[in-house]
Amino acid sequence: MSETRIAKVYAGALYEAAVETGKVEAVRRDLSAFVDALAQSAELRAFVQDEDVSAEEKKQTLMQLTEGGDDLVRNFLRLLVDKDRESVLEEAYRAFVERVEADAGIVKVELVTAVPVPGTVQAGLKESLEKSLGKSVELTLTVDGDILGGVKLRIGDRIADASLRHRLEGLRARLVSPTARLEGSVEAAS
């Protein structure tokens, strides 16, 4: 089984337990804080991933670090160490958040433009997306001058690329492709 699938299994179990106990937001908050700490501390990351550190020592340290945190998160961390699955922690966290947002009817949308989008256009775009998707939209706007013009839109795992750079690359590929075939056929005829 791939690590992604394993992470989703663990995340699903954590989510079900959080829903059952009414602690979804508390689990999300505490797990987010731990994953953020892991990302910011090379020392903590190295400790958690160190195979020479015993499972008991890891669990004891993690329980000290998360003291006062939600019991489900603490048990989740213990379980990952017991099953030697520390490597899926961050991916399991992302899968947990995706599940929370999906069940809440929230969809993440990223809009990439070459220039900043005015506030009034942002609001109108968000409203239009919410109407067409039938969900609450969490809109992230990014400016990337490399796309030259147009937009790139990512909704969940789907991407619509209407950037000028994408169109120019497509045009270049079409222009180069027939030329390459023509040169090949001339060489074959010689």
Question: pLDDT digits over 100-124, tens only?
Answer: 988 888 888 898 988 898 888 888 9
Measured distance CA(13)–CA(74) in Å, rounded: 14
pLDDT attached to residue 28: 95
What is the spatial distance between Cα 168 and Cα 172, in angstroms, rounded to a whole number? 6
- Segment 65-94, tens digit of pLDDT: 999 999 999 999 999 999 999 999 999 999
Reported as a pLDDT band with limits 50, 70 and 90, residue 7 is very high
- In order, the DSSP letters of 31-80 are HHHHHHHHHH-HHHHHHHH-TTS-HHHHHHHHHHHTTTS-HHHHHHHHHH
Higher pLDDT, 5 or 186: 5
pLDDT of residue 60: 94
pLDDT band at 158; cut points 50, 70, 90: confident
pLDDT at 188 over 60: no
pTM flag (> 0.75): no
> If you average pLDDT over residues 122-134, what whole number do you get?
89
Q: pLDDT tens digit string along 23-70?
A: 999 999 999 999 999 999 999 999 998 989 999 999 999 999 999 999
For tokens 């056929």, the residue is 185
pLDDT, greater one: 21 or 177: 21
> What is the domain partition of the chain in residue ranges?
3-102, 106-183
pLDDT, mean of residues 155-167:
82
Its CATH class, for the domain covering 3-102, is mainly alpha
Q: How large a percentage of the chain has pLDDT more than 90?
A: 52
Contact 160, 180 (CB under 8 A): no
